[in-house]
Amino acid sequence: MMDKTGDAVRQQMVAMGSGVFEIGLFKPNAEASEPIMLPRVWDQDALVRSIAWLRHQNQDGRNIYIRPKGEHNLSLVDDLTRDAIVAMTRTGFAPAIVVETSPGNYQAWMKHAEQLTKEEGTAAARALAERFGGDPGAADWRHYGRLAGFTNRKEKYRDPSTGLHPFVRIAEANGAAYREAEAFVAAVRHQLDIERKRGRERLSRTKAIAGRPVSGDLKSIDAFRADPKYGGDGTRIDLAYAIYALSRGVTKAQVEAALRSRDLSHKGGERRQIDYVERTIRKALESAKSPAFGR
């Protein structure tokens, strides 16, 4: 069994092709005295030397995960069917490695022809998940995948008759970049350029609108931010102001500008900031039961 685990680990490392990996040992039902996640950063030699310890931790209930350290040339597509894997290969998107995480459920590591930035890596993972029916919640540049050779400790996969959990196994491993890599990455970068341009144009418009005074004696968003009953909670303040303003005839564009008058960088990149503002306004419109106002 030790040899099989070692062979699987080595095969996955070689196929992924990274020099250094981040390993995560996750135990959702950990005792109060132990951490839920045990993170490690190892090169290939250190990972091989640690297989026995990883097996012990796996037997103790920890799931074993792996991802490349730092920016890299891989994208993980999670929660795939066998039919999806076949479709990927048929259309020029053959994975560098396919890992069966539980019976009939797969993860695919796609190898691009070059290293991607964090933004590009996340965009590529999302586009691949959308194209082949993967899990969008796992689509980002640094998501963990399962390490083959260890058991999947999720309770729903435990065999009730034997009490055993299924092994995570390698279904395919060629270690190569997929045929459509160059064209696909070029398309991802082109779409990112379009979104950045739209974001800059949108920001310019909202800044211009933000400078326009709101008619009448309506309270500004600054009045909400100064109100102690919100305790400085920016999300509560934004929603309260949006409900108040939209129900009194303030346009969506003016509300968007007001919400964006604070630093939203903690929400993520430009796309996530836009999503947050739009989501807040949707909630406000539902609460205020007001018709949608033109931009």
- Residue-level pLDDT at 292: 39
pLDDT digit string (tens) for 180-193? 999 999 999 999 99
What's the rounded mean pLDDT across residues 243-248? 86
Interatomic CA distance for residues 294 and 285, integer angstroms: 13
pLDDT value at 271 more than 90: no
pLDDT value at 215 more than 60: no
What's the rounded mean pLDDT across residues 120-135? 96
User: Which is more confidently placed, 204 or 290?
Assistant: 204
pLDDT value at 1 more than 80: no
3-class secondary structure, 200 = helix
Q: Which residues of 48-86 are buried (b: 16+ CB within 10 A; e: fewer)?
A: eeebeebbebbeeebbbbbbbeeebbbbbbbbbeeebbe
- Residue-level pLDDT at 24: 97
- Residue-level pLDDT at 295: 33
pTM for this model (two decimals):
0.72
pLDDT digit string (tens) for 87-96? 999 999 999 9
Question: In the beta sheet, which residues pair with residue 39?
Answer: 24
Q: Mind listing the domains of the chain with CATH numbers?
A: 2-179 (3.30.70.1790), 185-288 (1.10.1240)
pLDDT-derived band at 205 (thresholds 50, 70, 90) equals low
What residues contact 90, with CB distance under 8 A and at least 6 apart? none
